[in-house]
Copies of this chain bind each other. A is one copy, B any other.
């Protein structure tokens, strides 16, 4: 099969489409003929050599895909060859075929095309596991999402607004602000021109955000703690602004607040399967009812993967960038 390989680490130009052996299908796994995959920030880190695949994962990038089941490993029940699916991956989505633990498969929701479905698993599982399971966002609470028009951001805004939370987010431009507000954000804060701590405080009578979903890491750590409400939960899922920051424990203690940091990729298959099961029960019906939809910026071909990475790193997109095989 063809897959995007990394002969060396570096810029988008190192991404190299090559002929490689087909993946082997272990017990409990299915083989998926990939129709589309999606580009995630983690893929750019992997490309630069900062995020090696966990043990046992495919060496190729790609944390989600859609496609058709072409073979079943031993001990797989409930899935058939030929079924259209999308899947949460530990890697290997940038390829024509990928082997996936059956617990990480999801049906393609009614009303969503097979290509678009490639952009759902990673964002939905990330948002659900962090905002709803870990941080337990309650209706009426205030959620602040950094990067409100990223793939993760567009899904977090929609799911939290539908849940009855008050949603605020940061964005890089007025055009992105309009998109985020159309998705359900009460207020999209243009971080280049506005101080998100001040805006969140002024919109909440000084109370702050109950939950913050953060992709900036160290750069925002101090201001995120400032922006938290009493009993607030900061959930760091990305470190685009660095990894080591000063934590003011006195401020955290005075708010009885918490800093969580998580990622999906390295979790054991059983934990991923539990998240996928919860997402199927809680989010798929909302997608099928049209209340929540995947936001797709554009669809490129797998051989345009370098351009896709350049687009992601320019950050002018809104929602997901997909790649079709």
CB within 8 Å of B: which residues of A? Answer: 217-218, 221, 236-237, 239, 243-250, 252-263, 266-267
Contact = CB atoms under 8 A, between A and B. Distances in A.
A261 B256 CA distance: 5
13 contacts: A221-B247, A239-B253, A243-B248, A244-B246, A244-B248, A245-B247, A246-B247, A247-B247, A252-B261, A256-B263, A257-B260, A258-B258, A258-B259
A312 to B, nearest CB: 20
A5 B252 CA distance: 29
Interface centre among A245, A256, A267 (most CB of B within 10 A): A256
Given A243-B250, A244-B250, A252-B260, 19 more contacts: A217-B249, A221-B249, A236-B249, A237-B253, A243-B248, A245-B246, A245-B247, A245-B249, A246-B246, A252-B259, A254-B263, A255-B261, A256-B262, A256-B267, A257-B260, A257-B261, A258-B259, A258-B260, A259-B259
Contacts of A244: 246-250
User: Which secondary structure dominates chain A's binding surface?
Assistant: mixed
Contacts of A236: 249, 252-253
A260 B235 CA distance: 12
A262 B256 CA distance: 4
A221 to B, nearest CB: 7
A237 B250 CA distance: 10
A247 B257 CA distance: 15
A74 to B, nearest CB: 29
A292 B321 CA distance: 59
A232 to B, nearest CB: 11
Nearest to A259: B259
Nearest to A243: B250
Nearest to A236: B249
Given A239-B253, A252-B236, A253-B239, A247 B259 contact: yes
A218 B249 contact: yes
Nearest to A233: B258
Given A243-B248, A247-B244, A247-B246, A262 B266 contact: no
A52 to B, nearest CB: 12
A249 B239 contact: yes
B246 A253 contact: no
A261 B253 contact: yes
A245 B225 CA distance: 14
Contacts of A245: 246-247, 249
